[in-house]
Amino acid sequence: MRDPEGLLARAGVRGDPNRDQHFLVDDRVLDRLPSYLPEGEGVREHVLEIGAGNGALTARLLAECERVTAIERDPELAAFLREEFADEIAAGDLTVVEGDALDVDLPQFSASVSNLPYGASSQIAFRLLPLKRPLVLMFQKEFAERMVADAGTDDYGRLSVSAQHYADVEIVEPVPKEAFSPPPAVESAVVRATPRDPEYAVDDEDFFLDFVKAVFTQRRKTMRNAVRNTVHISGLDDGDAVVDAADEDLMGMRPGKVSPSRLAALATLADDVGRND
């Protein structure tokens, strides 16, 4: 197994916080990351790694998985990966893609294990989640806690509802600052997302997610005011019609107290009575 510090030395790079570069160098954390993938046929067939960096995690994925595609936006690091893992690339076990994970075409991967660049972690996560593949992703701890939060808790919000719409999400490991070089300013956490269908049904998924986004911009307001005040975000034509048709008790609640299933039912009602199709 390639030593993370040795890989950094051979790559001739140092992490740069200004470029959102923090290399995971703790062997124990690196060794555990692939183990968080669920068991199941085909899960380890073709694993996607975003933000491959110096290849420390790439090496471990190659040891555990049949095939790996590694995406790296830094040209120097992408060139290093192609040199360091030339044998694995020649054997067809590894593909290195140079580019931004938000722009490049993603392969038909079976799962993803990634230490994401924190500045783009939300955008990357919501590019991956709708694809319904098992994910093991490193986030800032605060972000991770918001992803997994339940209704009625302080961390519950748009991120919680949106992430849990696609998958069961759980924090499987907190990761201290010292596990990275250089240490970031914040603690981190590993989130496992296991895809599944939600317990509710929505006719228009895009509208549902826009509706959730809208009401949580007014999380301190009642749902009554949140629905009325955010039609420019949700895409509703008539917020008053939704308020009049909805359950009065629900309209008196604040968004942070409303479960995903109740939000989905309200979004379905809003779609029916508040939009002019």
Q: What is the pLDDT of residue 1?
A: 63
Per DSSP (E only), the strands in 148-230 are 167-175, 180-181, 188-195
Average pLDDT over residues 216-227: 97
First to last CA, the chain: 58
Amino acid, single-letter form, for residue 89: I
Q: What is the pLDDT of residue 20?
A: 73
CA 180 vs. chain centroid, Å, equals: 20
Whether residue 19 is predicted with pLDDT greater than 80 in this model: the reply is no
172, 36 Cβ separation under 8 angstroms: yes
The 10s digit of each residue's pLDDT in 224-266 is: 999 999 999 999 999 999 999 999 999 999 999 999 999 999 9
Whether residue 16 is predicted with pLDDT greater than 90 in this model: the reply is no
Whether residue 69 is predicted with pLDDT greater than 80 in this model: the reply is yes
Number of residues assigned to the chain: 277
Average pLDDT over residues 52-80: 96
Calpha distance 60→183 (Å, rounded): 22
102, 127 Cβ separation under 8 angstroms: yes
Average pLDDT over residues 115-138: 95
The 10s digit of each residue's pLDDT in 25-65 is: 999 999 999 999 999 999 999 999 999 999 999 999 999 99
Q: What is the pLDDT of residue 15?
A: 76
241, 273 Cβ separation under 8 angstroms: yes
Q: Residues of 225-234 as b/e, b for ≥16 C-beta within 10 angstroms? A: bbbbbbbeeb
Share of the chain above pLDDT 70, in %: 99
Of the listed ranges 16-30, 66-80, 125-139, 174-188, the least confidently predicted one is 16-30
Compute how many other C-beta atoms are within 10 angstroms of the C-beta atom of residue 8: 20
pTM of the model: 0.94
Average pLDDT, the chain: 95
pLDDT class of 21 with cuts at 50, 70, 90: confident
Please, which residues bridge with residue 97 across strands?
Answer: 71
Return the structure tokens found at 46: 């073709």
Q: What is the pLDDT of residue 117?
A: 87
The 10s digit of each residue's pLDDT in 100-110 is: 999 999 999 99
